[in-house]
Structure 1
Amino acid sequence: MKTKIIITTTLLVLATITNIKGQQALTTQQENNMNNTDLAALRKSKVKTYFKKIDDGQFDEEYFNLYTDDVELYYPKFGFEKGKEGIRNFGKTIGAHLQNLTHDIDGFNYIISDNMVVVEGTEKGITRSGKKWPDYRISHGKFCNVFEFEGELIKRVHIYVDPDFTSEDTDRVNIFNNPFQAVNKKTLSSTKEVLEEFYAIQSGKKKGNILDLFAENVDWDLPGNQEKFPWTGKRQTKKEIENFFKELYSNVQSEKFDIDFIAINGENATVTGHLSSKILAYNKIFDTEFVTIFKVMNGKIVKYHFLEDSYKLNEEMQSKTPINNRTLSK
């Protein structure tokens, strides 16, 4: 009987010890998981700081403190560099070529595993020669960065991107030109067809949504005094172009619009003509010759510059006469 009691007591003690050790192990694992989660969040924050600093051009102490002293960098065609001095050398090289660089940080995709953070995203910019990229025809601004961390610091950053930002590497483009897209390209509207549809919709001869003729990103410019004439100025997105037409139709009444000729050279086109418009806020007719510069890629308008005598417009519309509750100051 005593033997049974001793055995039972021993088993209970062992079970209790095992249970305590199990709980301790579980607690340790939970703490490790929590620490790993916090570390992953911190590393992701460091990566965001990396991109923000680059976009702002702030290569200060905080920027260089993101790296270990022996950090390794790789960039296509540039090659490898080591250490913070190597990071500086790369910055000088890329800075001599690019005037501006912006990453779509809010649109990044992240893959975080162990000590690695991989970022997939898009970027855009302006070269020192003034060329904007990507052109969304050959270059699309896609990139992928691989960050390896040592604790809280970046130990390795390998950047995978096409350095031919402005699609000038014509030999490589010819090599990798996708032959399977040839059939699709044949179905795209030509520059002439796009312009014909543009003016047919604009004149009311054809029904349709004129916004459908534009790409998602457009180099749009209509110079003028934006304070007096809110439909003028630079725009870039379809939403901004939609607002242009709303501003135009609520402030301007077309009296006459004649095209003299259209010159087309591949993707580029120039249209010249003469127009007469009533500026409703002033109840005055404005006459001017105009030139419109188009660029059409993949069946969509990617450039629209409308040039008229904006100085004459500003000089002729000087009164503050309110018409239909419209009042524009000088």
Structure 2
Amino acid sequence: MPEETTRATVDEYLRRLRERDLEGAVGLFAETLDWYAPGAATVPWTGRRSTRAQVMEFFTLLHEHLVPEEFTVTHIVVDGADAVIIGHLRDTVKATGGTLTTPFAAHVTVTDGSFTRYHLFEDSYALAQAVAPDSTPGKV
């Protein structure tokens, strides 16, 4: 049953993230996948990725630059192989001391117990401002 597998995979992923088991969390991704985290060029972990190794790089870069303060999931909606994870987060940027507070949603697809798509949606403008406050688009 796709919905049961999808929900179980999402729940396991979130459990591993809470426990800071990045190897285990990344191990839930397929070897090749469609990953997208839109964002400014000044944010090194944003962009497209297509391999499990690149997903690990995403988390490595994320943790090199941010100190997670809060990660709260408020809703998980499952429809077959697809799920949407909704919540909010707060991080501190190591280099600037700035705070990033943003709602987020992740649209994922699970195939055979592995994530084959992961599209992350968050306030990319607030993220860019927190990481590089002087690089505001349109600023002279």
Asked if TM exceeds 0.5, the reply is yes
Task: Give the TM bin, normalised by the shorter chain.
Answer: 0.7 to 0.9
Equivalent residue number for residue 278 of structure 1: 92
Distance between the aligned counterparts of 1:206 and 1:243, measured in 2?
14
Distance between the aligned counterparts of 1:203 and 1:307, measured in 2?
19
Which residue among 293, 300, 306 is the counterpart of 2:114? 300
Equivalent residue number for residue 57 of structure 2: 243
| The structure with more strand, counted as a fraction of residues | 2
Q: Which amino acid aligns with 1:192?
A: R
Equivalent residue number for residue 253 of structure 1: 67
1:274-307 residue CA offsets vs partner (Å, 9 max, x unmatched): 1001111211111000111010011110000110
- Structure 2 contact 90–99 (Cα < 8 Å) conserved: yes
1:201 pairs with 2:16? yes
Q: CA deviation at 1:312?
A: 2.2
Q: Which amino acid aligns with 1:313?
A: L
State the SS of the aligned residue for 1:236. strand
Q: Which amino acid aligns with 1:249?
A: H
- Structure 1 contact 218–301 (Cα < 8 Å) conserved: yes
Distance between the aligned counterparts of 2:58 and 2:22, measured in 1?
19
- Structure 1 contact 290–309 (Cα < 8 Å) conserved: yes
- Structure 2 contact 22–59 (Cα < 8 Å) conserved: no
Evaluate the alpha carbon distance shift between residue 208 and residue 216 of structure 1 in structure 2; reply closer, same or farther with a 3 A threshold. Answer: closer
- Structure 1 contact 282–319 (Cα < 8 Å) conserved: no
Q: CA deviation at 1:313?
A: 2.1
Evaluate the alpha carbon distance shift between residue 207 and residue 278 of structure 1 in structure 2; reply closer, same or farther with a 3 A threshold. Answer: closer
Q: CA deviation at 1:233?
A: 0.7
Q: Equivalent residues in 2 for 1:155-234 (5 A)?
A: 190-204=5-19, 209-226=24-41, 228-234=42-48
Q: Equivalent residues in 2 for 1:91-102 (5 A)?
A: none
Distance between the aligned counterparts of 1:195 and 1:204, measured in 2?
14
1:156-184 residue CA offsets vs partner (Å, 9 max, x unmatched): xxxxxxxxxxxxxxxxxxxxxxxxxxxxx
Q: Equivalent residues in 2 for 1:18-33 (5 A)?
A: none
State the SS of the aligned residue for 2:57. helix
Evaluate the alpha carbon distance shift between residue 296 and residue 240 of structure 1 in structure 2; reply closer, same or farther with a 3 A threshold. Answer: same
Aligned-residue RMSD, C-alpha: 2.2
Distance between the aligned counterparts of 2:22 and 2:60, measured in 1?
17
Equivalent residue number for residue 138 of structure 2: none
Identity of aligned residues (%): 29
1:208-232 residue CA offsets vs partner (Å, 9 max, x unmatched): 6222201111100001113x21111
- Structure 1 contact 279–285 (Cα < 8 Å) conserved: yes
Structure 1 unmatched runs, 5+:
1-184, 321-330
Distance between the aligned counterparts of 2:101 and 2:93, measured in 1?
11
Structure 2 unmatched runs, 5+:
136-140
TM-score, length-scaled by structure 2: 0.86
| The structure with more helix, counted as a fraction of residues | 1
Evaluate the alpha carbon distance shift between residue 273 and residue 207 of structure 1 in structure 2; reply closer, same or farther with a 3 A threshold. Answer: closer
Q: CA deviation at 1:315?
A: 3.3
Larger Rg: 1
